Amino acid sequence: MGSRGVIFEHIYPATGRPNGTVELAGAAEIDNAVRAAAKAQREWVALTVDRRRDLLIGLADVVHEHLDELAKLNVADYGVPISFAGTAMLLERFLRHFAGYADKPHGVTTPVNGSFDINLVEREPYGVVGVITPWNGALVVTGSCVAPALAAGNAVVLKPSELAPFAALRFGELCLEAGLPEGLVTVVPADAEGGDALVRHPGIGKIGFTGGGGTARKVLQAAATNLTPVVTELGGKSANLIFADADLDLAAALSAHQGPLMQSGQSCACASRILVHDEVYDEFLEKFLGVIGSARIGDPMDPATTFGPVISQAAADRILAAVDAAVSSGAGELLLGGKRIRDDRLSGDLAEGYYVEPTVFGGVDNASDIAQLETFGPVVSLMRFRAEDEAVAIANDTPYGLNAFVQTTDLNRAHRVARQLESGSVWINQFSDISPQGPYGGYKQSGAGRTGGVEGLNEFQQVKNIRIAVR
């Protein structure tokens, strides 16, 4: 039993029934984890770089052997259909990619004006990094933050959300099975109290946080206690621009997947604002609704299921309240959905699950709450535009800037529009296919810093300048 004596009962979103329990860490457990991590980090950096590289590759191998298990734990965590639960593969890819950085040059030498001195610019680890993952993508964020942190020479204290603890806990076990030093990766499920203790701990060198803007503000305030630097990946209200020359069948499929269907819209990458050229609006809408209508709603463990529940009763209530407010305010026309699913589409244990219909509004005012506030559910807004500059202006008219999507067959337009969109990532004729080679992060209120790519590695290193006099 933890020092707080708090046991969290996890509810399986697909049935609304208890799924297991987990002890929640408090300040004492966080302190123990940070102290163990500091000891392990000293052991870690004492290893040769080729040994660290091989251990990380070995961890990727172990993860590969348990992909099916981790995918099922993802489903148990938050009810994501197993057809979309392959994020364990991304965890493996991030580990393999960043393992290759462990033995590569991290520093440079530079000339110095008026001197023949040797000027070294080194990159060193922070020591112990705290990583706070969201419930809707724990394994992806584990890969994108833990892998580069370890490759850079750090130890990690990983705090998964209490709403999705199981896959993260298993990952912690796999780290030990792979032979990593005990304490190098410590997984401590916790709620806000434990998270606050982690962020405020003086032994933490940097924080990696993925989540909502409201929580991010609390994290940043707590981190200010010790002036601890924080890299954040936050929310989004992404625009998806459908031009008249687009392949409308492809655009409809991508828009449905990236909009209300994937993770039931519970994704910071959700393309919830769909901007369609007036010439093809009606044709696109017909195809788009057809794709949504063909979605298979059901048991998340069934490989045929493509649409699952939202995370909790509270989330369902919040999403439906936003839909009702949009209808009552006249923000747009409700074209599809807008209700809790409690009919013959679900039976047995699933009848009490937190399923909300894929919901589509048409003719939405971009200034309305449904277009500006992150719903974090299967709700999308369609808007018309007549000119390219109008589409770009609408897309950028939001406080967020995580992702943007463009559907066009005109290469010139693709380049031109992508450079005008105020977004950390722009995806042309495809969904948000995150990879370890590409930096991922946001503009504006969608976060600061990047995960992935060499930029992601650099987030977990601090720079030191060493100058050696040459007489």
**Where in the sequence numbering do the catalytic residues fall?**
159, 233, 268, 374
Is the Cβ–Cβ distance between 360 and 382 less than 8 Å? yes
Sheet-wide strand order for 273-277: 333-336, 359-362, 379-385, 273-277, 239-242, 403-407, 425-428
Task: Give me the phi and psi of 427, to 5 degrees please.
Answer: -110, 120
Q: How far apart are CA 225 and CA 223, in angstroms?
A: 5
Give the contacts of 424 (CB within 8 A, at least 6 positions apart).
401, 402, 403, 439, 440, 441, 442, 443, 446, 447, 450
Q: What is the dihedral of CA 402, 408, 414, 419, to 10 degrees?
A: -30
The answer to whether residues 17 and 9 touch, using CB atoms and an 8 Å cutoff, is no
CB burial readout 177-203, b (16+ within 10 A) else e: ebebbebbbbbbbbbeebbbbbbbbeb
**Residue 160 half-sphere exposure, CB side, CA atoms within 13 Å?**
30
C-alpha to C-alpha distances, 417 to 154, 240, 317, 411, nearest whole angstrom: 39, 12, 37, 10
How many other CB atoms sit within 10 Å of the CB of residue 92? 24
Q: CA torsion angle for 261, 265, 268, 274 (degrees, to 10)?
A: 80
Question: Chain-centre distance of CA 440, in angstroms?
Answer: 9
In terms of DSSP bridges, do strands 400-401 and 333-336 run parallel, antiparallel, or are they unpaired? unpaired
Q: How far apart are CA 8 and CA 21, in angstroms?
A: 5
- C-alpha distances out from residue 157 to 140, 168, 250, 391, 427, Å: 16, 12, 42, 43, 32
